[in-house]
Structure 1
């Protein structure tokens, strides 16, 4: 086959080839730069995304773990300021620790629980309100909870032998609760008085030293005292059907006897007189009827027309005349053995009391008492 000759215009030109090659090279370089820019942008975006994610992971997950691993879960030192914390009856060590953590007294309940493990007395923490400090070490908090002086409470001392109005005055002085509120609470029917009290708290406000929380109410105060009286009755072993009678007798004994050894003897005099129908003739009942005090009564006092006047009316008075303690309750239930019908405190300062079986012997003892009155200008 004979080759066809191309026209001169169709023959390859060296200059054109060089231009095409240059253009192609330029295009390749541009595309390469574009690819590089896109890659750089993608890498930059990836770096930003990775950095943000890493920061979020670190800040929210890793850092707390790392910091928590090296940081103590307990504060150091004695703390500062004051924080009142209420510990409830029956709270476990964990529950107490949680209460302290929520009040920012300790840093963590775990640290407090750990501190209690090496302190055997931790189980003896009493319920109540405590004055602690903010951000104190768990050991320091535990030490304060075991210190009675840290407990914020109201102490009310009610001695034996007071009338209800005198008890209310003591409570008002100790708690700051108004007398009117105490009196209203005592007769509200909400304090646990037994049915035989007929709504009158006289004799049922048990004498003792009480501790109340700072926010205690009048009803809570009276309820606690009435409940303590019920416990005393049970402790002494007074049968339910005899409780009113025993209470009345005990209230008389509490006012008449001074020395422990005389309680059961006074109880015997009362029992002996009641047995033979002899009036009790107790000055303490006359003073209750007249609202007076002191160790003697006048002829006019003894003529007071009141069922509480045991000179004028035989038998027991209709109700108690004071709040008796356990000694008086026990004596009323178990009088001493003896035939005494009389007694008189011949020395009120020492409490010396003489007992007699006959009126003649009693008259001699009364003269000793009168001699004491003369010597003491009483």
Structure 2
């Protein structure tokens, strides 16, 4: 029987006064609220006790030194990844999971007061198994531990070529192959992925499996040489290669990161209204990157647009040099006379693929070049600055100026 029912009737069984009913309702509400408050406070108290006990326990372990810790500098090789935003504790947990250190506390305690710990960047690190906390701290902040870091620069090609000074200029594939060796300590060993293996994966692995998006897929497939179908799709920037990964995985990881950079630059939407497909825009940007210094990107892009509009051949030396093992500032007549889809002295329109890694600035210039009637340009200053002309007569005068200035 509900005792509350008795509160609503007097001894004679008559209905109570309305004011008495309100008083009873208020009293019952206060009772329920008190019960809920007590229950909530009890729950919070239990959580505080549990959390406090856990924190106290960890602090005691660290303070008293009663935590597992290996001795020495360790053996073998373990590659660990530091994620964006990882704290010292998060790094410590990763190291413990990979058996680099015996416990997170061993690393955290050894890292106390080491300012370099807070400067650790995301990426891969070459560590050893069963290291003491102190040894793990010393190694992870050292240059020799940094593994798989690759810097791609604007204008870089996928393949190696010989520079003007006669030195070999490493291409994207060579840099990725080198990064696959980790921190360089295993370079030349069987643990590295060679550039030939990467080249094979770039040419043979289905582009969709490598992460190439639909907007670039069809046109990249039409590359006249399978070795060139990924050209220009890796933008300049820092990339992190997992040293233990295989060739397709390395390419897929780098391409995924590159297409994130492209999305940040506005692709593929930025191509809307330009009269070009997104892939064509990357082609134009690669030409701009290869032909000009940054301050001239916009005007070079305008020259390309003006020539395309009137079906005038682009006549760009960069497209001739693209197929040469030893490119030069001024190409020779014999090279310009050769037939081929990349020879813009003989073929009207854009080359079949990009010819280098375009920067986001070059992509922006290609998508929105400034207004102008220029159809010619030539590097006329030693710093790479170009002179632009609307007529062939003006162009000849600019070439004379370039010669006087010793630009070439």
What TM-score do you get using the length of structure 1 for normalisation?
Answer: 0.67
In the alignment, which of 147, 151, 155 is matched to residue 153 of structure 1?
A: 147
- Once the two structures are overlaid, the 10-residue window that deviates more, 330-339 or 215-224, is 215-224
CA shift digits 1:306-342 (9 cap, x unpaired): 2222222222222212221222112111212322111
Do residues 178 (structure 1) and 194 (structure 2) align?
Answer: yes
- Is the CA contact (8 Å cut-off) linking 2:155 and 2:356 kept in structure 1? yes
The whole-number CA distance in structure 1 between the counterparts of 2:138 and 2:146 is 12
Counterpart among 349, 352, 355 of residue 321 in structure 1: 355
Indicate the structure (1 or 2) with the bigger Cα radius of gyration: 1
Report Cα offsets for 1:279-306 as digits up to 9, x if no partner. 2111112223555511112223222212
Tell me what 2:158 maps to. Answer: 164
Question: 1:280 pairs with 302, 310, 314, which one?
Answer: 314
Closer/same/farther in 2, CA of residues 306 and 134 from structure 1, 3 Å limit: closer
1:131 matched to 2:164:
no
| Structure 2 gaps, min length 5 | 1-60, 161-170, 181-191, 272-276
Shift, 1:88, TM fit = 4.5
Q: 1:316 to 1:115 in 2, by over 3 A?
A: same
Q: Which residue number corresponds to residue 312 of structure 1?
A: 346
CA positional deviation for 1:186: 0.8
Q: Distance in 2 between matches of 1:114 and 1:205?
A: 41
Q: Please give the per-residue CA displacement for 1:145-188, whole angstroms capped at 9, x wherever unaligned.
A: 76253634033333322332222234345545323211111121
Match of 2:389 in 1: 356
Once the two structures are TM-superposed, the CA of residue 272 in structure 1 deviates from its matched residue by 1.4
Q: Is 1:244 the counterpart of 2:279 in the alignment? A: yes
Decide which structure has greater helix share. 1
1:53 alignment partner in structure 2: none
In the alignment, is the contact (CA less than 8 A) between 2:239 and 2:257 conserved in 1? Answer: no
DSSP-derived class of the 2:333 partner: coil
**Aligned residue pair count:** 303
8 Å contact kept, 1:163–1:321: yes
**TM-aligned CA deviation for residue 346 of structure 1:** 1.6
Instruction: Quickly say closer, same or farther: Cα 1:136–1:115, change in 2 above 3 A.
Output: closer
Pairing 1:332–2:366 present: yes
- Give unmatched runs, 5+ long, in structure 1: 1-67
Counterpart of 2:210 in 1: which secondary structure? coil
Distance 1:130 1:306 in 2: 45
Q: Distance in 1 between matches of 2:149 and 2:361?
A: 23
Alignment partners' CA distance in 2, 1:173 and 1:85:
18
Task: Choose from 220, 239, 242 the match for 1:210.
Answer: 239
**C-alpha separation in 2, matches of 1:123 and 1:295:** 42
- Offset, 1:266: 0.5
